[in-house]
Amino acid sequence: MSTTKEPKLNFNSAWDLAPAPEDTKHISLKKQYDLFINGEFVKPNSKKYFATYNPATEEKIADVAEADEKDVDKAVKAARSAFGKWSKLTGKERGKYIYRIARLMQERAREFAVIETMDGGKSIRESRDIDVPLAANHFFYYAGWADKLEYAFPNKNPKPLGIAGQIIPWNFPLLMAAWKIAPALAAGNTVVLKPAETTPLTALKLAELIRDSGLPNGVVNIITGAGKTGAAIVNHPDINKIAFTGSTDVGKLIQRSVSGTDKKLTLELGGKAANIIFDDAPLDQAVEGIINGIFFNQGHVCCAGSRLFVQESVADLVIRKLKDRMQTLRVGDPMDKNTDIGAINSKEQLGKINDYIKIGKDEGAEMYQSTCVIPKKGYFCRPTIFLNATQSHRIVQEEIFGPVLTIQTFRTIEEVIEKANNIPYGLSAGVWTDKGSKIFNLTTKLKAGVIWANTYNKFDPTSPFGGYKESGFGREGGLHGLSAYLDM
Ligand code: NAP
Ligand code: MG
């Protein structure tokens, strides 16, 4: 919980290694990317490649190898052979390698930030100030635990699990790779990781970095492909742990595939968080928190504050301030450092968001969009809110994963707790109030893995993150995240 002052949407961390974002001249991108297996880039067995696009321009960036079951098997064999040596290194030695990865990531921050924005559409300011520094911080944080496992888990004799198969989504491609790889390595496991189809390029840059870092061959293998490639990882008999971040539907499929095997499983799935504003909250600060909660990363955030609950007595005022603030948001070229909301990640995702906007109107909620001009080319969506939404509306119950907010009002604390919890998901929530007692009351009653107070979307490697109900199980980050990679 934090009661610090909420920053404006320009998330400024004075990070001096950050890129001059307009500058794409020094970014080295290849036309074609192969699979990173056993420390080298190798052609896929099928010889097939798929294209990855820049969603802000609709232009193709590169062709990327499509791994099939044979490639997955090759990666798992490399990881198995590397596990023998890696798991026997002292924690101090493992830590040195992980620190090296963290430092190299800082040195190449400019490249990572620009590629992240080109491949996925998020604003360069967010890639530069949030995604890349946080990814590096995850490696720094877990490097520090590598030689302290016995102190972290006293009398438990922690041992690595073996090979971790890791599958990640497209909304925070580099950061999710760091969340997965750093604790796995610190605990002494080896890794086979698959990034999402629309955003493979920063994971492949990370593969280059890992090769350059001198990490022993096969400790981290990064293979690209579609859902079938992910399924081949899940079903490979020699994998000991599956760590998945993605949709609830695919999470359920994976749980079914893994049941009956002795694979360990953690699932980080969807969300539909309640962001709750009480009448005693600092309202201007709360409005910034609403904006950050739903429009950060185009709303492609599993823990996005996508359901706003405002106490009735201040609802008109908050909504007026919110509409005014929405008008100031700049939507457009993600490579422009003044852009607040970049491109929607793919044509498919834009289609899904637009379907939900239509559903919301058909359901009778009242739509309001900012009147900003959006580029003709590329996939963009205006910041959108729905007033007079009700608990039974699909736009309230289902995850949209875009810049679309539903607004409900409430009178009493009991009412808002019941409505906030009456949803299939349980990942996160936000509470805005002047009263510490109200915050403590709500944090015990809201069924959500992460609850922010008087702030929103704050992430730190030391703090655990994960959900209840259809948002999955297991935690990433902190010692909880480390324990998910240990047998004890
Ligand atoms: P997704 O379709 O579930 O995809 C996630 C990853 O799984 C991708 O790499 C995908 O590959 C792969 N995949 C697809 N089908 C698979 C299968 N049958 N077996 C194994 N792997 C398979 O989700 P998404 O659209 O990328 O991401 C959006 C969802 O992720 C949202 O629901 C969001 O809430 C959730 N999310 C949750 C968290 C969290 O921490 N809780 C964080 C971020 C996102 P392809 O890309 O090739 O399809
Ligand atoms: Mg792309």
339-367 residue pLDDT tens: 999 999 999 999 999 999 999 999 999 99
| Contact predicate 189/241, CB 8 Å | yes
State which H helix or E strand residue 426 sits in.
strand 425-426
- What spacing in Å lies between the alpha carbon of 245 and ligand 1's midpoint? 6
Q: What is the average pLDDT score of the chain?
A: 95
The length of the chain in residues reads: 488
| Contact predicate 131/206, CB 8 Å | no
The predicted-structure confidence for 73-122, as pLDDT tens digits, reads as follows 999 999 999 999 999 999 999 999 999 999 999 999 999 999 999 999 99
| Contact predicate 437/453, CB 8 Å | no
Tell which one of 52, 119, 171 to mutate to probe ligand 1, the residue whose CB is within 8 A of the most ligand atoms. 171
- What spacing in Å lies between the alpha carbon of 119 and ligand 2's midpoint? 4
- What spacing in Å lies between the alpha carbon of 249 and ligand 1's midpoint? 9
pLDDT at 440 over 70: yes
Residue positions annotated with a catalytic role:
268, 302
The predicted-structure confidence for 316-329, as pLDDT tens digits, reads as follows 999 999 999 999 99
Cβ 278 under 6 angstroms from ligand 1 = no
The predicted-structure confidence for 204-232, as pLDDT tens digits, reads as follows 999 999 999 999 999 999 999 999 999 99
| Contact predicate 266/189, CB 8 Å | no
The predicted-structure confidence for 393-439, as pLDDT tens digits, reads as follows 999 999 999 999 999 999 999 999 999 999 999 999 999 999 999 99
pLDDT at 16 over 50: no
State the closest ligand 1 atom to the C-alpha of 465, by its place in the atom list counted from 1: 40
* Residue bearing tokens 């106490």: 311
State the closest ligand 1 atom to the C-alpha of 302, by its place in the atom list counted from 1: 34
Cβ 245 under 6 angstroms from ligand 1 = yes
Q: In this predicted structure, what is the pLDDT of residue 25?
A: 60
Q: In this predicted structure, what is the pLDDT of residue 27?
A: 80
| DSSP annotation of 61 | E
Cβ 6 under 6 angstroms from ligand 1 = no
Tell which one of 119, 201, 245 to mutate to probe ligand 1, the residue whose CB is within 8 A of the most ligand atoms. 245
Phi, psi of 459 (to 5 degrees): -125, 145
Lowest mean pLDDT among 6-20, 102-116, 173-187, 283-297: 6-20
Q: How far apart are CA 283 and CA 290, in angstroms?
A: 10
- What spacing in Å lies between the alpha carbon of 196 and ligand 1's midpoint? 7
| Tally of CA atoms within 13 A in the half-sphere of 229 that contains its CB | 30
pLDDT at 29 over 80: yes
Q: What percent of the chain has pLDDT over 90?
A: 94
* Residue bearing tokens 């579609």: 226
Q: Which ligand is nearest to the CA of 67?
A: 1
Task: Report the predicted TM-score, pTM, of the whole model to 2 decimal places.
Answer: 0.94
Amino acid at 146: A
Cβ 253 under 6 angstroms from ligand 1 = yes
Q: Which ligand is nearest to the CA of 402?
A: 1
**Torsion of the alpha carbons at 191, 192, 195 and 197, rounded to the nearest 10:** 180
**pLDDT-based confidence at 18, cuts 50/70/90?**
very low
Structural domains of the chain, with CATH: 32-269+471-487 (3.40.605.10), 274-461 (3.40.309.10)
Q: Which ligand is nearest to the CA of 224?
A: 1
State the closest ligand 1 atom to the C-alpha of 250, by its place in the atom list counted from 1: 3
Q: In this predicted structure, what is the pLDDT of residue 358?
A: 98
Q: Give the β-pairing of 274-277 and 307-311.
A: parallel
Of 32, 201, 195, 52, give the one whose Cα is nearest residue 116. Answer: 201
Burial of 397 (0-12, 13-18, 19+ CB in 10 A): middle
**pLDDT-based confidence at 70, cuts 50/70/90?**
very high
Q: In this predicted structure, what is the pLDDT of residue 127?
A: 97
Cβ 200 under 6 angstroms from ligand 1 = no
Q: In this predicted structure, what is the pLDDT of residue 26?
A: 65
The predicted-structure confidence for 259-274, as pLDDT tens digits, reads as follows 999 999 999 999 999 9
Q: Give the β-pairing of 59-65 and 49-54.
A: antiparallel
**pLDDT-based confidence at 2, cuts 50/70/90?**
very low
